Structure 1
Amino acid sequence: MKKRDESEAEGTAHSIAAWNGNIETLNIRLLVTEASMARERVSLADIPTALYENRWLESPFKHPSIFVVSDYLERLTDRSGFAEY
């Protein structure tokens, strides 16, 4: 049973590291566009992206500080359609 627990812990750690890597990639994209996924205008691409980021932030593990992603989500929450849902 101990070996299985260790394997699950390793798998979880690997998944978290991969997820953090995906968020870092998103962070780089937002640095390039300086606004949203599709440059200066919010588009349909921002809907699943925001959901993905929000799920990442709400997941119970330690998150690296990625300020661009946090700023991006804050800008989206100012939009009436986003705030409603």
Structure 2
Amino acid sequence: DLLPCAAQARAQVEQWMDWQASDLNSAWRHVFMARVRQHPDFADDARAEASLEQWNRLMTVLDHQLAASNAYVAGTDFSLADIVLGLSTQRWRSTPGNKPVLRHVDAWFERLRPRPGFAEHVDNGVA
């Protein structure tokens, strides 16, 4: 149920999962490792700030997608794309730094919160 059988719907879910795995993960890696994990290999604050700026830009892309779908990342139904992007969004929310207000991301995150797996594995206070 989380990965549609219909080719077009399945492709849209996989597109957003690929985007998360490639573009979004590449953007957040430095700032997350620097400010949350406090890893010494990521101590360059200028690089961390640039990473956060890129991450913010990409989260704005997600916000626009959620505005268009008015429900979930890949359309009207909850899918695997919401799971992986929900994890990335939790990291974004828990990483210190200046972030834009993204009302569609916020509303979507609130739609994810009541799901038992989300509360246990994502929105559980662990970054």
Both structures adopt the same fold (TM-score exceeding 0.5)? yes
- Unpaired segments of 5 or more residues in structure 1? 1-7
Which residue, out of 17, 23, 26, partners 2:59?
23
Return the letter of the residue paired with 2:99: H
Partner of 1:5: none
Partner of 2:82: 46
Aligned runs of 1:1-85 on 2, under 5 Å?
8-85=44-121
| Pairwise CA RMSD | 1.2
Offset at residue 9 of structure 1 (A):
2.8
Return the letter of the residue paired with 1:70: D
User: Whole-Å Cα distance in 1 between the matches of residues 48 and 77 of structure 2?
Assistant: 36
User: TM-score when scaled to structure 2?
Assistant: 0.58
Q: How many residues align?
A: 78
Offset at residue 45 of structure 1 (A):
0.9
- Unpaired segments of 5 or more residues in structure 2? 1-43, 122-127
Q: What percentage of residue pairs aligned between the two structures are identical? A: 33
Structure with max Cα Rg: 1
User: Whole-Å Cα distance in 1 between the matches of residues 50 and 119 of structure 2?
Assistant: 33
User: Whole-Å Cα distance in 2 between the matches of residues 58 and 49 of structure 1?
Assistant: 14
